[in-house]
Each structure stands twice: as C-alpha cells, then as structure tokens.
Amino acid sequence: MKVRLIRPAYFIWVLLPIALYGAFLTFGLPHMIWSYSWRDEGQGYDPFAARHYTSCTYAGPYGVFKRPANAGKCPWLIFRKDQKGTGLDLSHIQGWSGGGREHG
C-alpha cells in the first residue's frame, strides 16, 4: 500500500480564505448600526411604535459614518469599502509601517 502525503482533500480549506478575500474585494467590510434618528410622531420612545428613520449611524473598521435612511429603514449591517483605496488603512496605529506605502 502506497502512502500519499499530498492529497487534494488536504487543501480544501484554502477555498475559505480565498472566498473571504473575494467577498472583501467585492463588498467591503461589515459595519453595524450604532445609532439612528427618526421622526417623532408623538409616540416618543415607545418600543412598539412604527418609526420612520431619517438617518443611520454605522461603526466598523473604517470608522463611524452617518448616512440617510433608505425608505425610512436602517439595515442593521451594511458593507462598506475603503474610500482611500484598497485595504485597511492602519497608519493610525503606532509603530505600523504599512510596508513602505504612504497613504495620501
């Protein structure tokens, strides 16, 4: 019986990082809802009242940003790409050299 040390089944796990990187390039990174504002129609902070949201604030890897609500709704999770270029901007971390690349 011949022992095979290299089999294609051993490398199936490589597909997951490749798929995650492809999703990152296509959609960006996830940002979760942080806060929102709505039009108060007399219900105040009633948790069961129907609300029409006017703006949504999201927090994630690229920072905190505000955007208008879409048809009065705020999704809990959105994907956003870096506005400066591709990849994460880690220049704010002390001691990070960024591999010699400068962000401008």
pLDDT at 102 > cutoff 50: no
pLDDT at 88 > cutoff 80: no
Answer with the residue of higher pLDDT: 70 or 40.
70
pLDDT at 101 > cutoff 70: no
pLDDT at 98 > cutoff 50: no
Q: How far apart are CA 76 and CA 10, in angstroms?
A: 37
102 is written with which tokens?
A: 């400068």
pTM over the 0.75 mark? no
pLDDT at 27 > cutoff 50: yes
pLDDT at residue 103, as a whole number: 41
